[in-house]
Amino acid sequence: MTQPLQTVLNDINQWLDDVVIGLNLCPFAAKPKRLNQIHIDVFSGNDESQLDAAFLTAMDELQALDAQQRETTLLVIPNALASFEDYMLYLQQAQWLLQRAGLEGVLQVASFHPHYQFDGTLPSDQENLTNRAPYPILHLIREDSLAEVLSKYPDPDSIPENNIARVEGLSEKEIAVLFPHIK
């Protein structure tokens, strides 16, 4: 089912505010969100070759702008890659496109999906919530910006463990409120 653009944007902004920033899953997201430096690009198609083009365009546009204008890009894919397996296959394609564009070490891709599941976990394991989002997302991150904020963070290696502890501490009611897209 095709989602209206405004619904997708509202869902993503709500997820950013309540989950990513609200739960502090990314300790570096609040400032760029406050400064409107997070670009949300919605790919409304469902064709993989068109998605390739949209991904390449998103990388080009991010590179063309100064980090003060656009720190990061979320390429949201509401009408394709609904299965986590298809998404993971496409994530490999996105990594290949990034390498082929010569941007490995310049940009990196973080992954989010409504059915995200880490290796060695069950679908119902709460730690998977750290990477669950309303829609499939390819998050383009500037490597130099990431290195800069990590150098100032007291213990960057603790972030994944802290995030898992945070989501594992959520009640069923909190999960239902924060992750309404999980069925």
SS (HEC) of 43-105: CCCCCHHHHHHHHHHHHHHHHHCCCCCCCEEEEECCCCCCCHHHHHHHHHHHHHHHHHCCCEC
Assess if residue 160 is contained within a domain: yes
Identify any residues that bridge with 107 across adjacent strands, giving them in sequence order. Answer: 104, 142
Assess if residue 89 is contained within a domain: yes
Burial 20-35 (b: 16+ CB within 10 A, else e): bbebebbbbbeebbee
pLDDT of residue 1: 63
Assess if residue 183 is contained within a domain: no
Q: How many domains does the chain have?
A: 1
Assess if residue 46 is contained within a domain: yes
Write out residues in the chain with pLDDT < 50, as ranges.
none
Domain ranges, residue 132: 5-178
Q: Structure pTM?
A: 0.96
44 Cβ contact list (under 8 Å, min separation 6): 2, 5, 78, 79
Give me 120's structure tokens.
């060695």
Distance (Å) of CA 159 to CA 3, 39, 156:
33, 23, 6
pLDDT of residue 2: 80
Assess if residue 159 is contained within a domain: yes
- The pLDDT tens digits for 35-68 are 999 999 999 999 999 999 999 999 999 999 999 9
Assess if residue 39 is contained within a domain: yes
Assess if residue 158 is contained within a domain: yes
- The pLDDT tens digits for 112-123 are 999 999 999 999
Assess if residue 140 is contained within a domain: yes
Asked whether the beta carbons of 90 and 48 are under 8 A apart, the reply is: yes
